[in-house]
Amino acid sequence: MTELLSNYLGGTSVIGSGAGTPLFDPVLGNELVRVDATGLDLATGFDFARSQGGQALRATTYRERAAMLGAIVKVLQANRDAYYDIAIQNSGTVKNDSAVDIDGGIYTLGYYAKLGESLGDQTYLIDDEAATLGRDKEKGVAFVSQHILTPTHGVALLINAFNFPSWGLWEKAAPALLSGVPVIVKPGTSTAWLTQRMVRDVVEAGVLPAGTLSVICGSSAGLMDQLKPFDVVSFTGSADTAKVIRSHPAVTERSVRVNIEADSVNSAWLLPDANANSDSFKSLVREVVNEMRVKSGQKCTAIRRVFVPEALYSLASEAISAKLATIAVGNPRNESVKMGSLVSRAQLHAVQQGLAHLKTQAETLFDGSTLSLVDVDPAVASVMAPTLLGARDPNSDLVHSTEVFGPVATLIPYKDLAHAKALIARGEGSLVASIYSGDSNMASQAALDIAFAHGRVHVITPDVAQIHTGHGNVMPQTLHGGPGRAGGGEELGGKRGLAFYHRRSGLQVTQSIANTMKVST
Ligand code: NAP
């Protein structure tokens, strides 16, 4: 029997009373550890987080909480090697892809530590200028409306997807903790080990007050039932599970605030000024290949649809395919390998099914199944090489609605700008779109035109080709989330990311009180 990982709840480690769910190495197929949440006293654990953890955090200032985030960074940095080891075993990722998750999480914590420092020794935030409601000229006083943000007096339940066990935790926990709100994280089960280990390290290092950071691994049963009116739930995962969360009585009856980051059919758009020799064309090709390779396409932000002018369809197909053919795919332990595994056989199966579904309306431009895999047993491993599809038929609708969560993208030709915009909008709301053009005016207009359907629009003009942060990389400075199908959520975006964990209240007070409040912030 492999080790049964402990949960951390109620300020202590607790082992589930069941046999546990095994987690596997997706490349070698062996069982690694087990997780289990059977029999946990959730009600007491959630209350402990609310009362002990929440009170302790709210007794501190933004600056003091920023120092706590800084201390978490140190703990994580000290244990980085162990995290890379867990990632290669449990997620099957090559080192660079593990870095996106592990170092991406640490970077996000560090960013919020700095931001918190700049918020100073305060315990609340001022929201915008005061507005005058009434004036007594004789007395020289004004009655004003001043909005403030105070931390919510509840817990933040973070329900995460399997693809980012580290970054997915910290991109939510950093803004929550900085806001003064205790966190209970429920990681995606198949890769829960890394989340559990990070929480364990931080809790055992004693850098946070008891009850501020908890982890529950295994079944989600009963978690939503614990939520009370001042709690919040931040969910990342599929649209199907999002529906279950949204329709839970905690949300529908107790008005628990909910943020949903769901799936998305993201676009890359080469504008009509490009030709096959242009920098924009080259940037698009590079970015598409990168997004298919990194984490084997298991990123919510990965490019799924690639829009090119009709005249460039064949050339783009050839250029992307030529680069895909050079990627060594296989066992991440082999140094020549640049693209590792999907997280499980279940995911491999789901991606293969999704690919077959898309193929009913699309042609295959590059067939990954013809590549030989490095150092893996295909009967056991969840490894899959990238496949590029093409959808020339304007009636193909599946490509706009189907997210295949793996190394699959579809090239789509368009006639003119209006046609491209209409096709992009058929994704019904995405996390991100990237635009490639050498014409700044055309690029800025295109960005404005599709912004309504995207949480982020990433514009690559030749001047920033070497310094941009990547279509799929979520930076804490920029909003993450998207309208419609993408879930309608908002995370990160610097200080904006704190709003979800605060309550906004309008204070109607005399101007002098409003001034005192402002002075102290
Ligand atoms: P999922 O199956 O929806 O699971 C997400 C999380 O919800 C997991 O922790 C899961 O636990 C939990 N869960 C399942 N049923 C639940 C219920 N009834 N109540 C409460 N929690 C429940 O998604 P996934 O397969 O892990 O992740 C892949 C999907 O996530 C993709 O569609 C991807 O696009 C999306 N994603 C979106 C973003 C974003 O930021 N927008 C980021 C990453 C991924 P178990 O693991 O135990 O089932």
Residue 506 lies in a domain: yes
Asked whether residue 467 falls in the same domain as residue 494, the answer is no
Residue 224 lies in a domain: yes
Q: What is the residue whose two structure tokens read 């600056």?
A: 63
CA atoms of 121 and 10, how far apart (whole Å): 28
Q: Answer yes or no: is pLDDT of 453 > 70.
A: yes
Nearest to 402 by CA among 453, 350, 464: 350
CA atoms of 78 and 221, how far apart (whole Å): 34
Confidence of residue 519 (pLDDT cuts 50, 70, 90): low
Output the pLDDT for position 1. 83
Asked whether residue 240 falls in the same domain as residue 308, the answer is no
Give me the mean pLDDT over the 468-493 stretch: 97
CA of 189 to the centre of ligand 1 (A): 9
Residue 2 lies in a domain: no
Helix, strand or coil for residue 270?
strand
Asked whether residue 214 falls in the same domain as residue 105, the answer is yes
Quick one: which atom of ligand 1 is closest to the CA of 219? 47
CA atoms of 251 and 67, how far apart (whole Å): 33
Assess contact for 57 and 175: CB atoms under 8 A. Answer: no
Residue 483 lies in a domain: no
Confidence of residue 327 (pLDDT cuts 50, 70, 90): very high
The CATH code of the domain that includes 338 is: 3.40.309.10
Residue 213 lies in a domain: yes
Query: pLDDT digit string (tens) for 87-113?
Result: 999 999 999 999 999 999 999 999 999
In DSSP terms, 232 is beta-bridged to 156, 257
Q: Which of 144-153, 390-399, 405-414, 460-469 has the lowest mean pLDDT?
A: 390-399
Quick one: which atom of ligand 1 is closest to the CA of 263? 34
Q: Answer yes or no: is pLDDT of 521 > 60.
A: no
DSSP code per residue over 16-82? -SS--EEEE-TTT--EEEEE--TT--HHHHHHHIIIIIHHHHHTS-HHHHHHHHHHHHHHHHHTHHH
Asked whether residue 442 falls in the same domain as residue 503, the answer is no
Q: Which amino acid is at 116?
A: G
Residue 1 lies in a domain: no
CA atoms of 193 and 25, how far apart (whole Å): 11
DSSP 8-state secondary structure symbol assigned to residue 373:
P
Q: Which amino acid is at 514?
A: A
Asked whether residue 456 falls in the same domain as residue 327, the answer is yes
First to last CA, the chain: 55
CA of 241 to the centre of ligand 1 (A): 6
Residue 134 lies in a domain: yes
CA atoms of 287 and 101, how far apart (whole Å): 19
CA atoms of 54 and 52, how far apart (whole Å): 6
Please say if 261 is a catalytic residue. yes
Beta carbons within 10 angstroms of residue 364's beta carbon: 15
Asked whether residue 244 falls in the same domain as residue 270, the answer is no
DSSP 8-state secondary structure symbol assigned to residue 263:
-
Q: Rounded mean pLDDT of the chain?
A: 97
Quick check: pTM over 0.85?
Answer: yes
Please say if 217 is a catalytic residue. no
Number of domains in the chain: 2
DSSP code per residue over 79-113? THHHHHHHHHHHT---HHHHHHHHHHHHHHHHHHH
The CATH code of the domain that includes 498 is: 3.40.605.10
- Using CA positions, which residue lies closest to atom 30 of ligand 1? 237
Quick one: which atom of ligand 1 is closest to the CA of 161? 26
Output the pLDDT for position 518. 82
Asked whether residue 249 falls in the same domain as residue 276, the answer is no
- Angle value at C-alpha 409, between 404 and 287, nearest 5 degrees: 125
Asked whether residue 274 falls in the same domain as residue 246, the answer is no
Residue 485 lies in a domain: no
Q: What is the residue range of 385's domain?
A: 266-477
Give me the mean pLDDT over the 158-168 stretch: 98
Output the pLDDT for position 290. 98
Asked whether residue 218 falls in the same domain as residue 90, the answer is yes
Asked whether residue 414 falls in the same domain as residue 446, the answer is yes
Which residue of the set 261, 291, 403, 490 is catalytic? Answer: 261
Q: Rounded to 5 degrees, what are φ and ψ at 155?
A: -105, 155
Pocket of ligand 1 (CB under 6 A): 159-164, 186, 188-189, 220, 223-224, 236-238, 241, 244-245, 261-263, 300, 403, 405, 431, 487
For residue 64, CA distances in Å to 111, 119, 504 come to 15, 10, 22
Query: pLDDT digit string (tens) for 68-88?
Result: 999 999 999 999 999 999 999
